[in-house]
Amino acid sequence: MGFNIRKVLLGVFTTGFAMQSHAFTCFLTQMKDDCWKTYNVTVDVYDSTTNKKLVSAIVPTGSLWTRQQFTCQPGQTLRFQAQFTPVFWQNDEGKTWYGNHFWTLPAQPQTGETAWNISLCFPGDFAEVPMPPQATNNCQCSSSGIPPIEAPSS
């Protein structure tokens, strides 16, 4: 029994082609709670298998949310990490805060689905984020005022 390189290459080629043909549209709707309004928050989304960065979302000072479109794959598992500026504790300079959990996308879109939305709240969906010194116990992420996602154009 000999090793057949053609079958292997064909298998690699067709697998890669099939993965590309299943690309799907995703959105990251990134919110920050109102205690973080005076801070810039950057959230990066990664493919947890390849560690490839898929999108960055920056919620600037004065804003409480942003939305970024990116290409995703059915069944893909995503991980998230965040940073904020300015820091209020010197030892937090350059520190990264990791998402509380990974997010696995559905294996396939439902009939009529044209995109998936991932909604995250900073700091609630991230581990061990310190609270700003001026924060109260009433900090909240609110989706009110965030428009619905419109179907991507073909």
pLDDT at 138: 86
Instruction: Indicate whether 64 belongs to any domain.
Output: yes
Number of domains in the chain: 1
Does some domain include residue 30?
A: no
Would you state the structure tokens that stand for residue 139, as one six-digit string? 């900090």
Let me know if residue 89 belongs to a domain: yes
45 is a domain residue: yes
| Alpha-carbon separation of residue 152 from 46, 70, 113 (angstroms) | 22, 11, 10
Name residue, tokens 């294996």. 107
pLDDT for residue 57 is more than 60: yes
Dist. CA 146–CA 28, nearest whole Å = 12
Check: pTM over 0.75? Answer yes or no: yes
User: Residue 112 CB: number of other CB atoms within 10 A?
Assistant: 6
Residue 152, SS3 per DSSP: coil
Predicted confidence (pLDDT) per residue in 18-44, tens digit:
444 489 999 999 999 999 999 999 999
CA angle 38, 40, 41 (to 5 degrees): 125
Tens-place pLDDT, residues 120-146:
999 999 999 999 998 888 899 999 999
List Cα–Cα distances, 16 to 13, 23, 58, 91, in angstroms: 5, 12, 31, 43
pLDDT at 2: 42
Across 30-49, b (16+ Cβ under 10 Å) vs e yields bbbbebbeebbbbbbbbeee
In a domain, 17, yes or no: no
Residue 85, domain member (yes or no)? yes
Q: Give me the pLDDT at residue 136, please.
A: 83
For 63-121, how does the pLDDT look when each residue is reduced to its tens digit (9 = 90+)? 999 999 999 999 999 999 999 999 998 899 999 999 999 999 999 999 999 999 999 99
Domain hosting residue 99, numbered range = 39-127
